[in-house]
């Protein structure tokens, strides 16, 4: 089951967009409390699926660069306390990201040829904590290779997982 950000954004009403896809920078402080609620709901849904024995893949980014700290990742790690989690850091060089943006949405660089500030902030803030069970680089690994590594890591979970470390940070 895939319960990632794209599916939640599709379900999000227009007046709450971009929902949990809100970029770092504190640009829409009025939206931030709703974002926290949606993250909690998404992770409670992940837990509910897991309780039923359904494997879940979650393609979602976490950052705490809002107008005020929201501690979203810590909250999410607490919700999944009882469940096996492989927290994966997905990396891709910014040049490749820009190529993929152009190929997918027909847009990429700013009019002046620069990388948009929102993309730079995203690249920085989603990896600022840097605690993962596994890291993959999608510019040099196929999606099948990444999936294989994730599956292997899930079978051989370490005694101390990234989510445990994140929960213990408080």
Which entry of 6, 59, 103, 133 is annotated as an active-site residue? 6
> Closest Cα to residue 168, out of 85, 73, 98?
73
> Closest Cα to residue 76, out of 101, 24, 39?
39
Mean pLDDT to the nearest integer, 94-112 = 85
Domain span at residue 56? 5-168
pLDDT of residue 134: 97
Residue 145 to residue 88: CA distance in whole angstroms = 13
Contact between 85 and 29 (Cβ < 8 Å): no
Question: How many percent of the chain have pLDDT more than 90?
Answer: 52
What CATH number is attached to the domain comprising 130?
A: 3.40.50.300
Confidence of residue 7 (pLDDT cuts 50, 70, 90): confident
- 87 pLDDT exceeds 90? yes
pLDDT of residue 45: 96
> Closest Cα to residue 79, out of 54, 43, 132, 131?
43
What total of structural domains would you count in the chain? Answer: 1
Is-catalytic flag, 59?
A: no
Q: What is the pTM of this model?
A: 0.87
Q: How far is CA 154 from CA 80, 83, 112, 146, 157, in A?
A: 15, 11, 44, 12, 5
The backbone torsions φ and ψ at residue 57, rounded to the nearest 5 degrees and listed phi first, read: -110, 135
Query: Cα 22 vs. chain centroid, distance in angstroms?
Result: 11
pLDDT of residue 27: 82
Mean pLDDT to the nearest integer, 57-83 = 92
């Amino acid at each position: 089951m895939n319960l990632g950000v794209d599916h939640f954004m599709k379900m999000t009403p227009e007046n709450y967009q971009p929902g949990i896809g809100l970029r770092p920078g504190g640009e829409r402080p009025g939206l931030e409390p709703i974002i926290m609620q949606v993250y909690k709901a998404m992770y409670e849904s992940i837990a509910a699926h897991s309780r039923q024995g359904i494997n879940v893949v979650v393609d979602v980014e976490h950052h705490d660069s809002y107008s005020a700290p929201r501690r979203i990742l810590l909250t999410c790690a607490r919700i999944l306390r009882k469940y096996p989690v492989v927290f994966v850091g997905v990396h891709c060089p910014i040049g490749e990201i820009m190529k993929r943006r152009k190929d997918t949405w027909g847009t990429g660089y700013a009019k002046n040829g620069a990388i948009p500030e929102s993309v730079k902030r995203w690249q920085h803030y989603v990896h600022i904590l840097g605690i993962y069970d596994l890291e993959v680089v999608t510019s040099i690994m196929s999606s099948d290779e990444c999936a294989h590594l994730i599956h292997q890591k899930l079978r051989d979970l370490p005694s101390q997982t990234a989510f445990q470390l994140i929960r213990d940070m408080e």
